[in-house]
């Protein structure tokens, strides 16, 4: 939260109606990411009550409810605008970091059959695999930039 998790969320997202509010949903998604829960489907195997206690609730929403709430709350334009405002906040907080960027490529292996992707070397697998390449741009402290 110190990095600006709730910075201008009211301006870029629409609060869903119901028991689970915007702060709880944003904090839940952030905590799930930190706990390396890779997809919303995986929360079916998580202890709902214990996650709820962390958020000050009796339980977290089920997958169907969470998907509906997030779809009602977030748009692509709102997400991009929020990312830009966070980047601006971080760059204004420490202007000396704005001139140093770290670009990192991440290989994401593809195991499907719908398309033929080029093969790239995966250090994790130690061989060439069909994959996608993601490029992440961060400042010297590892905070993402807006580019």
Q: Residue 102's pLDDT is what?
A: 74
Domain ranges of the chain: 9-93, 99-139
The pLDDT assigned to 120 comes to: 80
Locus of tokens 């059959």: 113
pLDDT digits (tens, 9 = 90+) for 98-130: 666 677 777 778 777 777 778 888 777 787 888
Tell which residue, 72, 95, 82, 87, has the closest CA to residue 20. Answer: 72
pTM of the model: 0.65
CB-based contacts of 32-36 (< 8 A; 24+ apart in sequence): none
Mean per-residue pLDDT, 83-93: 85
Confidence of residue 97 (pLDDT cuts 50, 70, 90): low
Higher pLDDT, 71 or 130: 71
Q: Which residue has the higher pLDDT, 71 or 106?
A: 71
Higher pLDDT, 125 or 83: 83
How far is it, in rounded angstroms, from Cα 87 to Cα 98?
10
């Amino acid at each position: 939260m110190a990095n600006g998790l709730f910075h201008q969320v009211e301006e870029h997202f629409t609060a869903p109606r119901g028991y689970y509010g915007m702060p709880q949903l944003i904090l839940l998604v952030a905590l799930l990411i930190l706990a390396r829960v890779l997809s919303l489907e995986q929360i079916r195997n998580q202890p709902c009550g214990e996650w709820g206690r962390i958020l000050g609730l009796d339980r977290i929403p089920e997958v169907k409810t969470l998907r509906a709430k997030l779809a009602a709350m977030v748009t692509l334009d709102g997400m991009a605008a929020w990312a830009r405002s966070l980047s601006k906040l971080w760059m204004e907080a420490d202007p000396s970091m704005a001139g140093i960027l770290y670009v990192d490529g991440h290989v994401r292996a593809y195991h499907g059959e719908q398309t033929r992707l080029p093969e790239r070397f995966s250090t994790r697998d130690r061989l060439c695999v069909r994959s996608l390449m993601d490029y992440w741009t961060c400042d010297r402290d590892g905070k993402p930039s807006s580019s």
